Amino acid sequence: MNKTLVIFGRQPALGLAEIESLYGADTVTPIGNHGAIIDIDPNQFDINRVGGTVKAAKLLTQLEFTDWQKLSDYLVEHVPKHTCCIGPGKLLFGISTYGLQTNQKAIERTALSVKKAVRQSDMRPVRVIPTKATELSSAQVLHNKLAQPPLGMELLLVQHGDSVYLAQTVGVQDIEAYAARDQARPKRDARVGMLPPKLAQIILNLAIGDLDAHIGEVILDPFCGTGVILQEAQIMKGFDVYGTDIDPRMVEYSKANLEWLHQTHQIGTNYFRLEVGDATSYQWDIMNAVFCIACETYLGRPFAHTPDPETLHLVMNDVNTIHKKFLQNVAKQTSKGFRMCIAVPAWFINGSFKHLSTLDHLEELGYNRLSFKHVDNKSLIYHREGQIVGRELVVLVRK
């Protein structure tokens, strides 16, 4: 059976949890610190619906050595055996390594040796795409069509213990489509924070937890802001969406963004519904039709610098109260098994994270926090260098 090898983005734990959530823990084997193997055919893996995976590849083989010279010899010997069977045309070729003891110069030398071997064996012109690091970036793979076999060929070498997985890229994240969705939507607001579309996809996939969720199921975001999660849900698989926010201006922003999305993307007949509502008390009208909740909650005041302890205490208390009441309100309107993923604030202060204290009382509030087999919940915090407020991803199932 063909297997899929995936490479995760900047925070591999988030990508791994997302894949585990969608495909099930037993179908996924983490490899090295960068990726995983999924027991599904690469043709069935849709890279556009996951936010934490940057490359998807067809697994070719597992090599029982990690020495770069031996790996290099292997590629020089085997790549021409493969290229001689494909149709005519110029081969676009590149190599990316993950976790291996090698460097950019050595990789480039190997790529040029492969080029020479291919030219000798089937007289085929070859263009090598040079790496700037030990791996090609998503942009390089995308722009040079390296994820389009057979004439586009990026080979991935991923170290796992004493062996190396060799795979050929068949999909790369469409960074241009993400940027277009993020920047071209009419309403943005730096004050409510800019949720990256990729992170919105991860939150959604952790909430959905089921690849076979049906078109027409409703996803609710009770803190919808400018509507990034609603937007990604509608693109992803034609989910109907329902958004509420305490701020009427935000509801207007979401409306404008979703109208724009329907004009510019193929969304079909899926509806969106938006209302002003306080998540701590609102009665959502169609709660029994809601499949799951996916949201980035209220994150409290943004901080450019570490706040003094008193200010931090006040902000954390305030945010905590809202979360507690929100979770109580949802618990009243849902039944056993209802699932949600909420991105809540975690404050990075003096080298470690301070968590929302409500998270210590989830059972009393009527929820079990889901844990993952391959990822520790502690590592599910989206955070960029220099940021004070990170977003902790919490998956909850109603008891």
Ligand X SMILES: C[S@@+](CC[C@H](N)C(=O)[O-])C[C@H]1O[C@@H](n2cnc3c(N)ncnc32)[C@H](O)[C@@H]1O
Give the binding site for ligand X (CB under 6 A): 192-193, 195, 222-223, 225-229, 245-247, 250, 278-280, 296, 298-299, 322
The answer to whether the CB of 215 falls within 8 A of the CB of 248 is: no
For ligand X, the closer CB: 191 or 336: 191
Minimum CB separation of residue 10 from ligand X in Å reads 19
CA angle 250, 209, 295 (to 5 degrees): 15
For ligand X, the closer CB: 76 or 246: 246
Minimum CB separation of residue 78 from ligand X in Å reads 47
For ligand X, the closer CB: 107 or 192: 192
From CA 91, how far away is CA 277, in angstroms rounded?
56
Nearest residue to the partner ligand X, using Cβ? 225
For ligand X, the closer CB: 78 or 355: 355
From CA 41, how far away is CA 341, in angstroms rounded?
28
From CA 283, how far away is CA 293, in angstroms rounded?
14
For ligand X, the closer CB: 142 or 200: 200
DSSP per position, 141-181: HHHTTTTSTTTEEEEEEEEETTEEEEEEEEEE--HHHHHHH
For ligand X, the closer CB: 40 or 246: 246
Minimum CB separation of residue 204 from ligand X in Å reads 11
For ligand X, the closer CB: 56 or 229: 229
Count of residues in the chain? 399
Minimum CB separation of residue 179 from ligand X in Å reads 16
Amino acid at position 218, single letter: V
Minimum CB separation of residue 199 from ligand X in Å reads 9
From CA 343, how far away is CA 21, in angstroms rounded?
16
Taking the CA atoms of residue 367, residue 368, residue 372 and residue 376 in that order, the dihedral angle to the nearest 10 degrees is 90
For ligand X, the closer CB: 94 or 225: 225
For ligand X, the closer CB: 125 or 248: 248
CB neighbours of residue 101 within 10 Å: 11
Minimum CB separation of residue 172 from ligand X in Å reads 25
From CA 336, how far away is CA 293, in angstroms rounded?
14
For ligand X, the closer CB: 142 or 250: 250
Minimum CB separation of residue 322 from ligand X in Å reads 5
From CA 55, how far away is CA 155, in angstroms rounded?
11
What's the Rg (C-alpha) of the chain?
A: 23
Minimum CB separation of residue 224 from ligand X in Å reads 6
From CA 57, how far away is CA 186, in angstroms rounded?
35
What string of H, E and C letters represents the secondary structure of 77-128?
HHHHHHHCCCCCCCEEEEEEEECCCCCHHHHHHHHHHHHHHHHHHHCCCEEE
Nearest alpha-carbon partner for 53 in 24, 22, 26: 22
Signed CA dihedral, 383, 204, 52, 14: sign only? positive
Minimum CB separation of residue 222 from ligand X in Å reads 6
Minimum CB separation of residue 346 from ligand X in Å reads 13
